[in-house]
Each structure stands twice: as C-alpha cells, then as structure tokens.
Structure 1
Amino acid sequence: MKIIDVHSHWGTKRGYPLQTPAEREQQKATWNSQVNYHSEAEMAQYFRDSGVQAILDFGFSKFLPMDEARALHDYAFETEAAHRDVILGHWIHIDPRSGEAGLRELRRCIDKRIGFLGYGVSASLSPPASDPLYAPFYKLCIEANIPVLIFVGTTGLGAGLPGGAGVILDDCHPRHLDRVAATYPEMKIVAARPGWPWQAETIAVLMHKRNIWYELHGWSPKYHTADLRHEIPRRLKHRIMFGADYPLLSYERLVGDWKAQGYPDEVLEGIFHRNAQAFFESLKT
C-alpha cells in the first residue's frame, strides 16, 4: 500500500534526531530500536523499498546557532533535490526566541523550498505553542500559506534522563493547540503525535476546531488509547495521517501494527495516503 509519511526524521549521522550520547543510549528503552546510521542514498532507498514518500523533521535544529541551522536547512534541501521521488519536503524548527534572525531564516527557507515546507513547534525546551513570541512566525506562515505542526502529548525526548533533561511535558498540553487554533483561524494546523496522557482533551480540540489535521508519529498504534481507537474510523476518519518517526520506528513494524488493529481497508487507505493527499490539496486554497 502506498504510504505518505507526514512526519519522520533523518537516518543520517548529520541529521539523526538523537544528538547526544545520553539520548542515544535511551533509544532502546523508549522506542525499542537501536541507533543505526545510513547514508543519504541508503535512507532514500529505504523509503523507496518501503513504498514511502516522507516529510522530514530536524527537531534539534532550533537549538543550534543560526549559521549552523542555516547550513542544516541547506543540507535538507540538497538531499531533497537529489531524492525528490521519496522526500516530499520538511518541517523547519526555529526557536521563537531567536527573533528577527529566526524570522529571516524561516523566510529564506520559504523562498528556497523545493516541495513541501512547514513550521514545526515542538515545545520541547522551547516555549509552548501559545506563547506570544510565536506571533510573527505564525503571521509569516499565514502570509506564505504554509502549515504549522503543533506537538501534543508526551515526548520521547529526555525520557528516562534525570529531570527529563529539563523538558516540561505540560508545555505540550492540547490547551496550547486550542488557543493557537482559536487565535489564528486562518492558519493551517497539524497536531502531531498521540496526545497521551491528554488524548481525550486532544480529541475534544480536534472536534471543536475542525480545520486541524492530526498525524500520529512516534507510537505504535497498538498503544493508542481506547478513545483514539474509537475515533480513528469514525469522527477523525478523514483527518488522521500516518507519521512514522523513522529511524526510531521502522515501517515494517508500524505498517504491520496498523494492519493488525482490524480497521477496514478504506480507513487504512485514508491513514496511509488518502488523507495526506487531501491535506496537500487543502494547502492550495
């Protein structure tokens, strides 16, 4: 089955999502997988072999000095240009505390984009999505008609490390998603990952703000809450999109786990690619 993965990371050493030795040591405990670097060509071939087209995410780039982040973004565009059949584009993370320098870099990326481009707001060691510091970034996204990815629920970043490596889980409570959606009704928004331990609250926001799409990266579907499993083939049927979190989770595992949940083929086709195609179409309006 064709797969559009709207949220994964990089399997290359330069782009690997877990950057510190302590984070990499936790990969087995958190995601039940091992660190295994690939070249850019190997990563792209894995996507081809898996029938996947992916949107990739440099979640850690917001922690870098702006010149290093700029070089990483250029690396992303260069790799996309070399493998356009399987890399659809990128989520760009820029800390709003970077101010005008960050806005210039987001504007540069918008102007340089090849395919898809969106702005990622993870709130892990950066302000929650409802912080007023994001206002000029959101306004730029509206002006450029690019979507914003707002993370909800717990994160694997810092999991198992002392003090969670400083990550405050409450900064990803869906109340922030709700406030942003209410404040910027014209902005295209995607909620990212299962909202546990606030899954019911996340569903409530999605049902109230019906222009928000929902991608479920980072979790095997066998661990979804009963609330989420109930809504996937019902009220959220046309807004759920597949996200893998490669290389932390493999397509072999995730596709098998999704098929084992007993959802009708029509629902799985929506999750795996049809809903993402509808999402892309919505960005043209």
Structure 2
Amino acid sequence: MPIDLSKIRAIDVHVHAEVSCHDPEDPVMGKFFDAASHYFKAPRERPKMPEIIELYRESQIAFCMFTVDCESGMGAKRVSNYEVAELANKNDDICIPFASIDPHKGKYGAREALDLIENHGVKGFKFHGIAQNCHPADPMGYPIYEVINEYKLPAIFHTGHSGMGTGMRGGGGMRLKYGQPMLVDDVAVDFPDMKIILAHPSWPWVDESLSMALHKTNVFIDLSGWSPKYFPKQVIQYANTQLKHKMLFGSDFPLIHPDKWIKVAQEVGFKEEVMPGIMKDNAAKVLGLV
C-alpha cells in the first residue's frame, strides 16, 4: 500500500535503524552509542525496526529509514540493507527504505546499490563521510553515485559536527573535516540527476549548505540532528524565504524524537505558510511521492 499523503501529517527523512532484529549489537558501535546517548541526553537502548515503525505509524508520520555502513571507517558491522528494505516494504504505508553503502566498496558497492534499487525497492541512500572516513567526492565512491544518479534517486550526506564520536578519546578516530558541506559540491556537479540532501544544519559550516542549496537545483537541506531552538538564525531566515522549497523535516531518531522536534519547530519563527512545505510537501517531491 503506497503512502497516502492525505493521511500523514509529516515526512521525516532522517531516521536511523541502528540495531538488527536478528543480530546482536556490534560491540564497536556500542561504544559510540554510549557516547552519543550521553551527548544527546537520549535513552541508551536502541529501538528495533518494528518498534520504530509502530511509533511513526501511531504518530501519523511517514519516514525514511536507513542504517549507516561504516565497516571500513569504523570497523563496525553494519545492519543489513536487505533487512531494512524487507521491513520497510512490509510497512510501505508509512516507511520508505533507504540504504547505506560504504564508498570504500566501490564497484562492488555499486552492484549492491543496483540490486537494492531494482529488486528490493530502495528509494534513496545515506552517506556519512565522517563515520566512513571518506571525502564525499573521493572517486572510489563514484561507481555507487553513478547508479543513484541513473535512477534519479536522493542521497543524504551527513554534514557538520558529528554527535558520533563526541566526547570519546580522539573523537573515536572520526575526522570532522569530512563533514564540511562544500566537499559535496563536486558530487552535486558531477551527478546532477542525484537529489542531494545535506543532513543537519551543518554547524560550523552552516552558510556553505545554504549557499549550495541556493546554487544547485539538486541540493536540499534536512533539519535533523538539532532541536530547532538551537538553529542558527540564518537557517530560519532562508527557510522562510529563498529556500522555503529546499528545507525538509528530519529528526535523527532515535536520538531526537519527532514529536519533540515538531513541537519546538512551531515556536522558533518559521512562518506559518512555509511549515507545510518543510514538514511534508517538499520531501514528497524529492522522494517522488507526487
């Protein structure tokens, strides 16, 4: 059953499936979960995918669900893209399957991307240069991008500071430089049919994301990972004006609850007339739901 936009109140484009229903939590990733939970003041226990699906169904919020494949950069076993896709497709009234493939996997990763799109209904991809220890425009990832570009699908790129690794010795070995938004600009140029979503307000490089979304027709911004009360003023300024069609609601669940994000967003200065676009309409277009 496809998503009925008239029956949902929002689309959350940024929801993490952090644990498998079948496999135990990876011990390497567990250390990062400990630190991230402390940083975000969030519960340590990570919900399994069926729990996430039911929470969003009860809230009448459709959502994009994905894991982060950082097997090379962090040495942590990923949650299977196929498990995510299977559960999402069984609940396609509310859930949209995204996948994540470590760019280090190159052409072999491109084979997986193609299979996920053609045979498992995946509708988009997630990349995290910091966790994947990879420059977003490193040519090794281009075979994967080529597949995404061919199918004109969206790809979310983490930008800005990373809660993952914050407070850990040496940042857990994660390099923040790969979160600079402008590093994604070459990807936007080289793959103009791939819809690029720059995740988070991108602090401390906020203005780079705003510039890219203004300049590139295929670049959008999701507002996940921060409570809206902490948004830099220029994010709200551009969301109310020139980039009102480029801003997308995202929570970063399970670290931020979508209802909590929405409640705060109603109080920080977004114009009433732009909120329907931010909350649902803009994402519906990017995701090809309309």
Task: Give the TM-score normalised by the residue count of structure 2.
Answer: 0.86
Alpha-carbon spacing, 1:96–1:38, altered in 2? closer, same or farther (3 Å): closer
In structure 2, give the amino acid aligned to 1:120. Answer: K
Matched, 1:29 2:29: no
Aligned to 2:186: 179
Aligned to 1:170: 177
RMSD: 2.6
Give, in whole Å, the separation in 1 of the partners of 2:196 and 2:107: 23
Give, in whole Å, the separation in 2 of the partners of 1:205 and 1:96: 22
Which of 243, 246, 263 does residue 239 from structure 1 map onto?
246
In structure 1, give the amino acid aligned to 2:124. Answer: G
Matched, 1:74 2:82: yes
Which of 128, 131, 136 does residue 122 from structure 1 map onto?
128
| Displacement of 1:10 | 2.2
| Displacement of 1:164 | 0.7
Deviates more, 1:13-22 or 1:51-60: 13-22
Which of 29, 33, 36 does residue 20 from structure 1 map onto?
29
| Displacement of 1:52 | 0.9
| Displacement of 1:215 | 0.9
Give structure 2 stretches of 5+ with no counterpart.
1-7
Matched, 1:54 2:60: no
| Displacement of 1:234 | 0.8
Which of 270, 274, 278 does residue 277 from structure 2 map onto?
270
Aligned to 1:42: 51
Which of 55, 78, 88 does residue 96 from structure 2 map onto?
88
Which of 148, 153, 159 does residue 152 from structure 1 map onto?
159
1:147-185 Cα distance to aligned partner (Å, 9 max, x none): 222221111111110111111111111221222212223
Number of matched pairs: 278
Deviates more, 1:52-61 or 1:267-276: 52-61
Which of 248, 253, 266 does residue 260 from structure 2 map onto?
253
Alpha-carbon spacing, 1:6–1:82, altered in 2? closer, same or farther (3 Å): same
Deviates more, 1:75-84 or 1:243-252: 75-84
Deviates more, 1:186-195 or 1:228-237: 186-195
Which of 123, 136, 142 does residue 143 from structure 2 map onto?
136
| Displacement of 1:211 | 2.5
Give, in whole Å, the separation in 2 of the partners of 1:169 and 1:95: 17
Alpha-carbon spacing, 1:156–1:137, altered in 2? closer, same or farther (3 Å): same
Deviates more, 1:19-28 or 1:92-101: 19-28
Give, in whole Å, the separation in 1 of the partners of 2:26 and 2:55: 17
Give, in whole Å, the separation in 2 of the partners of 1:10 and 1:19: 16
Alpha-carbon spacing, 1:134–1:20, altered in 2? closer, same or farther (3 Å): closer
Task: Give the TM-score normalised by the residue count of structure 1.
Answer: 0.88
Give structure 1 stretches of 5+ with no counterpart.
none
Deviates more, 1:246-255 or 1:144-153: 144-153
| Displacement of 1:252 | 2.4
Deviates more, 1:10-19 or 1:161-170: 10-19
More helix by share: 1
| Displacement of 1:13 | 5.3
